[in-house]
Amino acid sequence: MHPFNQRIQSALAARQSQGLYRSRTCLERQDCQVLATGSLSQASSPHHAKRCLNFSSNDYLGLAQSPALVEAWQQGLTLYGAGSGASPLVTGYQPAHHRLEKQLADWLGYDRALLFSSGFGANQALLFTLLQKGDLLIQDKLNHASLMEAGMLSEATMRRFAHNDTDALAQLLAKQTNVTSAETVKMVVTEGVFSMDGDCAPLSAMQALCHAHQSLLAVDDAHGCGVLGDEGRGSCDQAGIRPDILVVTFGKAFGLQGAAILCNEDLAEYLVQFARHYIYSTAIPPAQAHALSQACNMIQQQHWRREKLQELGHILAEALDPAVELVATDTPIKPVLVGDSQRAVAMSEQLRDRGIWVSAIRPPTVPVNSSRLRITLTANHEPSDIRQLANAINEVFHAQ
């Protein structure tokens, strides 16, 4: 056997023996339900399909299935065609992109917004482009993989602080201030809402520390924008701050796909000139930008979606057995801590047998011994759906 093939097979076998093997499942989605037709690695037939209530979607506001948003995308296709045809600096930057960027900047309170095809790409562009050798990057230990990978691969020195621990951040900033020069760029990066725990960063205290130590603050608010704050402006608005740099993504509450970096005028122009992820990537389709403008309007105007999420969260907390370790959050992300990876997978499969789709999240996505069921609520769920979920969790919890 070729050494390369042996390496691949050994890695796959190790992942399987550790209970960490991941499999894709082909799903047909209808509102807050999914129709599972089997693993893509195995043959499946229609009579094996199972309909489940979906509690694993990041479509928090339920916009992805909204007729108004679907119509907006169809209208965009009629106006602009299917694709942008080029990168933004060639011929890919079109009126729909310009309007969306201005709309985002006005809504979220920044000079400029710059569109990217994914949140992963936006985060990587941000850190790779802005940080140079000798600069200092300080990250929360639970930041998204896109931020961690970019930090490790950038020329800057990266340090991490314990999750949401402002004392640890203060000590790290004070220590590093003593060993850096006046020319050193310092940047603290955090998520606004953490995707696996559903908790919010202490943004007000973090901004105060950054100001005291002349450090930039960048916030990835992928899971907060649309859900929190006045008119859905996000976790920073809720905390009463405006960070130097804000990243928002469109694959969660916006119901679509893509991302934007919000910042001042000079920084936006710097990214246009030097960010390879922006310069050498095809621009998002203008039809999508047109639909995203509609999503922005719906987020700002349809307050009932956020109010319903709060109501559903209260119902879940009341209906679950007190023995179930539900993490209390102010967001639609409601983790149930399990600990053992294999037990989390077993519970997820038993819930699926009961018509409930909840994903088991295991290492390396989360720390060892902190595997969980990651429940996400959407505005399309009804109170009866939540009670059905809670009853099923109570059953499988006590069956273990």
Active site residues: 58, 144, 191, 195, 220, 223, 252
* Distances 160 to 8, 163, 280, 318 between C-alpha atoms, Å: 31, 9, 30, 36
Contact by Cβ (8 Å): 208, 130: no
Tokens of 63: 């916009």
Q: Are strands 259-263 and 371-376 parallel, antiparallel or unpaired?
A: unpaired
Return d(Cα 250, Cα 296) in angstroms, integer.
10
